[in-house]
Amino acid sequence: MEQPNINYINKLSGDNAAFKSKMIAILKRELPEETTIYKHQMQNNDFNLAAQSVHKLKHKISILGLEKSYYIAEEYENNLKKNSTDLKDVFETILENMQIFLSDL
């Protein structure tokens, strides 16, 4: 499985260390919150709302350089819109890997 990285954040921030720190802080704060919301929606079998949460989470997946995972999330989002949970375990593993990565920064 591909590993998260901050290459995009580094490129985006250039030499601006404050901007880089702010981007990482936002990810560290928002990812757990959005993951919790997504998991709550899944527990309630509210697949339409969960698909919207996956859509939001895709942006964070992209920011952390997870190109293949982005496409998995996109397919999972479409599955949820069809009331299918195919790719759920893979998607949730991606979220876990992202949170571990961010906690180590």
- State pTM to two decimals: 0.94
Distances (CA, A) of 47 to 37, 77, 97: 12, 9, 23
pLDDT bin (cut points 50, 70, 90) of residue 17 is very high
Mean pLDDT computed over every residue of the chain: 97
Domain ranges of the chain: 7-103
pLDDT for 1 equals 77
pLDDT for 64 equals 98
- The answer to whether the Cα torsion of 53, 43, 33, 57 is positive or negative is negative
